[in-house]
Amino acid sequence: MKDHESFPLIPIKKGQGIWLEDFDGNRYLDAISSWWVNLFGHANPIINEALKDQLDNLEHVIFAGFTHESGIKLAEKLVEITPPGLSRCFYADNGSSAVEVALKMSFHYWRNQGQVQKTRFITLENSYHGETLGALAVGNVPLYKETYAPLLMDVITVPGPDCYYREAGESWADYSIRRFALMERTLQNQCHTVSAVIIEPLVQCAGNMRMYDPVYLKLLREACDKYNVHLIADEIAVGFGRTGTLFACEQATISPDFMCLSKGLTGGYLPLSAVLTTTQVYQAFYDDYQNMTAFLHSHSYTGNALACRAALATIDIFQQQNIIQKNKRLASVMTEMAKRFNEHLHVSEVRQTGMILAIEMVKDKNTREPYLWQERRGLKVYQYALSKGVLLRPLGNVIYFMPPYIVTEDELMLIAEIAWQGIEHAVRD
């Protein structure tokens, strides 16, 4: 809060495509898709049109005992486009709530099966799953978690496959396989008390955009089957094309037992989330009222009609405009633009998975010694870039590009140039 005495909030008057405009006429290129939600630009004409039509018919209705066309169509669409076996859809209204739903549903599934001892969750070091207490408990980024530690349920935290720490010359796949041994051992020893493993497939976004190989997901799926534990894929940040495929799990050709979706789901327009699950899970709750097996969880705005319609329009754009294919070209342009950062004296790594590219800024390139967090070098990049009309918002000292998919090559070039200048500015003195 105090920072804003010297660096005031920027009131935005208008958004158009990739650009935001403030009340003084300054423009900012939204290089991080407004916290990873915006896929096809601000004020997108197709999504706007769909929303106007929805608005004239139904804005919202209680989603218990009632339903509506956009809610039904979206559930059917999500079942169609997500990995095989995910045949049921449960709505909530933000990412953290979707994580809460998946955790509760997994636990409750085992309880309904008489396996009441399966009460614990396994999570990865450096993971992030949201800010509500359950989601925070299964996350592992100290910055968000530590203060609230006394309030949080106890979870089993396993060292992760973050490939930043691989040995020189070791491939992402080899390191991910090596690190999986730690997960396998934990599952072997503790599976009888474990309900689910929760994971961010391929990229730990809030954990400084750390990445790993799809083979880890493949091994994890096999192990979860072997040890009778659910697999929850939190695709809230990585879903909808961010990693190069529509869903990150596709790269390992796996289907989780629960898949959490939000953020890009509505193209960045409205809060909505969905948890996809299997018919097997669904059936465990399906019974006569007297048996009290039902899943009781609701939010006032669950299945909001406007949000569902925005999501349908977003998925239409993916399908009609062949976005995943087009993004391959954009991703390779991003690779090209970022090559020069590898040579920078204060960059220890440039890494990329699909439409996410991250640059790790360090004090010492050779030892990888980080800058002290108190120096707030990332903030300097942020402030510099804003002064040049680009919205980059580093995570600590990691500068990343996560642009809307409407970004042009020239705009990518601008983002990379300003990021370069921003780093030069931030590492001075």
CA–CA gap between residue 234 and residue 267 (Å, rounded): 18
Q: Least distance in Å: CB of 197 to ligand PMP?
A: 15
Instruction: Indicate which single residue of 18, 39, 74, 236 sits in contact with ligand PMP (rule: CB under 6 A).
Output: 236
Q: To which H or E segment does residue 20 belong? A: strand 19-22
- Alpha-carbon distance of 313 to 266, in angstroms, equals 8
Residue 200 lies near ligand PMP (rule: CB under 6 A): yes
Give whichever of 129 and 380 is closer to ligand PMP, judged by the CB atom. Answer: 129
> Least Å distance between CB 101 and ligand PMP?
12
CB of 268 to ligand PMP, least distance (A): 12
Question: Does 129 sit near ligand PMP (CB under 6 A)?
Answer: yes
The residue range among 24-32, 229-237, 295-303, 413-421 that interacts with ligand PMP, by the rule CB under 6 A, is: 229-237
> Using the rule CB under 6 A, is 205 a contact of ligand PMP?
yes
**Other CB atoms within 10 Å distance of the CB of residue 71:** 24
Is the Cβ of residue 34 or residue 383 nearer to ligand PMP in the bound state?
34
Burial of 125 (0-12, 13-18, 19+ CB in 10 A): middle
- C-beta of residue 41 within 8 angstroms of C-beta of residue 29: no
Please give the residues from 69 up to 88 whose contact with ligand PMP meets the rule CB under 6 A.
none
Distance CA 169, CA 172 (A): 10
Closer residue to ligand PMP (CB): 110 or 128: 128
Among 38, 54, 70, 94, binds ligand PMP (CB under 6 A): 94
Give the three-state DSSP class for 414. helix
Q: Does 103 bind ligand PMP (CB under 6 A)?
A: no
> Residues 100, 234, 250, 349: which binds ligand PMP (CB under 6 A)?
234
Span near ligand PMP by CB under 6 A; candidates 89-97, 359-367, 374-382, 389-397:
89-97
Q: Encoding tokens for residue 3?
A: 């920072």
Using CB under 6 A as the binding rule, whether residue 140 contacts ligand PMP is answered as no
If the CB atoms of residues 35 and 227 are measured against ligand PMP, the closer one turns out to be: 35
With CB atoms as reference, the residue minimizing the distance to ligand PMP is: 95
| 162 is a site residue for ligand PMP (CB under 6 A) | no
Q: How far apart are alpha carbons 327 and 297 in whole angstroms? A: 37
Instruction: Tell me which residue has tokens 């200048």.
Output: 421
Q: Torsion-angle region of residue 73: left (phi > 0), alpha (psi -120 to 50) or beta? A: alpha
Pick from 15, 95, 201, 244 the residue near ligand PMP by CB under 6 A.
Answer: 95
Beta bridge partners of 277: 88, 258
Name the strands in the sheet holding 347-353, side by side, starting at the edge strand that comes first in the sequence.
347-353, 356-361, 398-401
Q: How far apart are CA 130 and CA 95, in angstroms?
A: 7
Residue 206 binds ligand PMP (CB under 6 A): yes
Residue number with CB closer to ligand PMP (206 or 305)? 206
Interface stretch with ligand PMP, choices 124-132, 143-151, 159-167, 348-356 (CB under 6 A): 124-132
The answer to whether 394 touches 6, Cβ cutoff 8 Å, is: no
Instruction: Please choose, from the candidates 282, 265, 262, the residue with its C-alpha nearest in 3D space to the C-alpha of residue 86.
Output: 282
Reading the block at residue 303, the tokens are: 């299945």
**Containing H/E element for 333?**
helix 323-338
How many CB atoms neighbour CB 208 within 10 A? 19
- Minimum Å gap between C-beta 395 and ligand PMP is 10
176 belongs to the binding site for ligand PMP (CB under 6 A): no
CB of 261 to ligand PMP, least distance (A): 10
Interaction site with ligand PMP (CB under 6 A): 94-96, 99, 128-130, 200, 205-206, 234, 236-237, 262
